[in-house]
Every structure is written in structure tokens, then in C-alpha cells.
């Protein structure tokens, strides 16, 4: 591994990449109706933010950002476990994962 690995890539590229990934996640949440796909798109958004944090941490030479990413992963794992349990429970009651059916709390 060459020593100036980071020097070759300006950090702006990571900013742009994670922005694109985040926008794709937002687009997916707006576009799809399957609740499982929406959960997956949320994971995608979390990951784009993680990538941004890691890039800032690496370019600033500071490990604290990476610890933060570690905690985000912990929260994401807990979130997915609870979300999927909710999904299974919804499916058992309504036999669908279409979010447009779940409109009782809508004003």
C-alpha cells in the first residue's frame, strides 16, 4: 500500500459519492411501497452517512469519527431487528407489506 494513498483522492469525491448514495436512498423511500424495501433504503442512507464520517475521520487523522460510525452500526442493527419484527407482525395481521394499506394514522 503506497503511503500517499489518501493524497491521490480529494475528499470532495467522497462527499459527492455519499451525497449520491443518500439521494438514491431518499428516492427509494419515496418510490417504493414495500415496507421491506423502504427499510433497505434507510440502511442505504445510514451507510452513506457512515462513509462520509469515515472519510472525514481518515482525512482529519482522528479516530473518534470511526468510533461514532461503530455506534451508528450498533443502532442500525437494533433498528433492523425491531423493524423486521414489526414487519412480521404487520404481515401476520394484514397479509401484506404494502405501506399504503397502513393508513389509519394518516390525517
Question: In the window 41-100, what residues touch other proteins (CB under 8 A)?
Answer: 41, 43-44, 47, 50-51, 54-67, 69-71, 73-82, 84-89, 91-92, 96-98, 100
What angle separates helix 64-94 from helix 35-60, to the nearest 10 degrees? 180
- The interface with other proteins within residues 20-39 (CB under 8 A) comprises 20-28, 30-34, 36-37, 39
Kindly list the distances between the CA atom of residue 101 and the CA atoms of 29, 75, 78, 87, 107, in Å, as whole numbers in the listed order. Answer: 16, 28, 25, 13, 14
The answer to the question of residue 12 lying near other proteins (CB under 8 A) is: yes
The answer to the question of residue 105 lying near other proteins (CB under 8 A) is: no
Amino acid at each position: 500500500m503506497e503511503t500517499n494513498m489518501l493524497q491521490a483522492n480529494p475528499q470532495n469525491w467522497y462527499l459527492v459519492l455519499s451525497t449520491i448514495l443518500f439521494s438514491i436512498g431518499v428516492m427509494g423511500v419515496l418510490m417504493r411501497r414495500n415496507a421491506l424495501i423502504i427499510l433497505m433504503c434507510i440502511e442505504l442512507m445510514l451507510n452513506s452517512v457512515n462513509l462520509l464520517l469515515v472519510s472525514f475521520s481518515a482525512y482529519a487523522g482522528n479516530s473518534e469519527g470511526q468510533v461514532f460510525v461503530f455506534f451508528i452500526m450498533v443502532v442500525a442493527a437494533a433498528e433492523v431487528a425491531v423493524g423486521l419484527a414489526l414487519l412480521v407482525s404487520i404481515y401476520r395481521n394484514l397479509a401484506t407489506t404494502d405501506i399504503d394499506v397502513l393508513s389509519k394514522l394518516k390525517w
